[in-house]
Chain A
Amino acid sequence: MLSVSAALLLTLAWVHQAQTLYFHIGETEKKCFIEEIPDETMVIGKYRTQLWDKQSGSFLPSTPGLGMHVEIKDPDTKIILSRQYGSDGRFTFTSHTPGEHQICLHSNSTKMALFAGGKLRVHLDIQVGEHTNNYPEIAAKDKLTELQLRVRQLLDQVEQIQKEQNYQRYREERFRMTSESTNQRVLWWSIAQTLILIVTGIWQMKHLKSFFEAKKLV
């Protein structure tokens, strides 16, 4: 019974290792992802890198010595995190301003082109807001029953919905301000252009009339 359970655990461990989304990245390529989030939201990113092995024609399971540089910018393009991590890394940040945060990754290795033919596989998982909560851990820490844990999960979800709605109100206000500014600009610039047209027309006629009168043509 124990051995069956252990075997199942090992199989699931293999699947767990494999079951993340991945993509390929070039040597000096910088890959950026955008997260549009309300304020006071926690974001956890986990990545794992695998280097292409020319000899075996497959990806190595792990790459010691290869690092990834992670840079996170807030909506005002101010850098809030800029750190080098190893080949497997985990980064966390909490947003203080609502808006579009940019998470950029690029490898710091220059030897990749020589050994790996320039291919690096990056497994990435970014979890936002209530997905960052680790419920079994919370249950163990606060000693919650199953029902209490479910209710806690619902409370977290509702909190996230509330934050998103607040953020939505802030975005809608910005949108409205932009539209009103466009409206004002169109109005004033149209009036200004009509005035310029009339004034230059009058000036042209007056100037030409006085010019022709001076030349004794009129």
Chain B
Amino acid sequence: MYGSVRVLMKVLWAQLLCGWVLGSELTFELPDNAKQCFYEDIIMGTKCTLEFQVVTGGHYDVDCRLEDPEGTTLYKEMKKQYDSFTFTAAKNGTYKFCFSNEFSTFTHKTVYFDFQVGDDPPLFPNENRVTALTQMESACVSIHEALKSVIDYQTHFRLREAQGRSRAEDLNTRVAFWSIGEAIILLVVSISQVVLLRSFFSDKKTTTTRVGS
């Protein structure tokens, strides 16, 4: 009986530990004059990192604010393009971080953020892990950490590239639009100049001869 209970508990541990959120990475659109807040319950002593980057929109800046469960502001920056903030949770409770685009009147912004809470859970729910890692295993762990930072750099590179690409596409449509517009304005103005000039002379036909003397 105890044997099967133990097996059941091992399975439950495995379920729990693999179900734990390693970190939340989201990209969302922030309309103008809007504020979007996210909340997370954190245990005291956990090391957390909040990283954000503005992907598209206006001057690529946003206000960010991080508060602890009692409302004390841990991090507050106005009009930042990209930043990373690491802190250790001093209290148990709900931490709140908000992104605000309230200073902008008509530009939507796309914001990416990555909120990492604690370390990754272990691959195996090894409760009786008393021996140290072998050389192979510690090599695997260091490669894993290095690859994680490669993926992180790739993400940031992708976001910067998305920024550049959206600006280039914007420029492309604007160039087409304004070139056609200017050509039309040019034609309209030159034709109306001639028409207007003609109208000056055709009305005052009788009066010009008298002014000349």
| Residues of A in contact with B (beta carbons under 8 Å apart) | 2, 5-6, 9, 12-13, 15-16, 18-24, 31-36, 124-126, 128, 131, 134-137, 139, 146-147, 149-151, 153-154, 157-158, 160-161, 164-165, 168, 171-172, 174-175, 178-179, 181-182, 185-186, 189-190, 192-193, 196-197, 200-201, 203-204, 207-208, 211-212, 215, 217
Return chain A residues, CB-CB under 8 Å to B6: 2
B117 (CB) vs chain A CBs: closest residue: A19
Name the one of A21, A33, A137, A189 contacting B115, with C-beta atoms under 8 angstroms. Answer: A21
Asked if A182 and B24 make an inter-chain contact with CB atoms under 8 angstroms apart, the answer reads no
Chain B contact residue count (CB 8 A cutoff): 72
Inter-chain contacts of A203 with B (CB < 8 A): 190
Task: Indicate if B29 sits at the interface (CB-CB under 8 A).
Answer: yes
Taking CB atoms, residues of chain A closer than 8 Å to B27 are 33-36
* Cα(A32)–Cα(B29), bound, Å: 7
User: Given the complex of chains A and B, what is the CA–CA distance between A181 and B205 in angstroms?
Assistant: 53
Main secondary structure of the interface of B (DSSP, over half): helix
The answer to whether A147 and B140 have CB atoms under 8 Å apart is yes
Question: What 15 new A-B contacts, CB under 8 Å, besides A34-B28, A153-B144?
Answer: A2-B2, A16-B16, A16-B19, A19-B20, A19-B21, A20-B40, A34-B110, A147-B137, A150-B140, A150-B144, A164-B158, A171-B158, A186-B179, A193-B183, A215-B205
- Please, which residue of chain A has its CB at the minimum distance from the CB of B28? A33
Which residues from chain A contact B157 at a C-beta distance below 8 Å? 168
Query: When the two chains form their complex, are residues B16 and A196 in contact, meaning their CB atoms are under 8 A apart?
Result: no
Complex Cα gap A131–B147 (Å): 13
Indicate whether B12 reaches chain A with its CB closer than 8 angstroms: yes
Q: When chains A and B are docked, how far (Å) is the Cα of A175 from the Cα of B161?
A: 9
* Across-interface contacts of A153 in B (CB, < 8 A): 123, 144
**Considering the complex, which residues of chain B in the window 158-213 have a beta carbon less than 8 Å from any beta carbon of chain A?**
158, 161-162, 164-165, 168-169, 171-172, 175-176, 179-180, 182-183, 186-187, 190-191, 193-194, 197-198, 201, 205
User: Considering the chains assembled together, what is the distance between the CA atoms of A47 and B157 in angstroms?
Assistant: 29
- Pick from B42, B148, B179, B183: contact of A185, CB under 8 Å: B179
Contact B28 A32 (CB under 8 A): yes
Task: Check: B136 CB closer than 8 A to any chain A CB.
Answer: yes
Query: Are A21 and B144 neighbours in the complex by a CB distance under 8 Å?
Result: no
Q: Give the Cβ gap from A206 to chain B, nearest Cβ, in Å.
A: 10
Partner of A178 from B12, B110, B165 at Cβ < 8 Å? B165
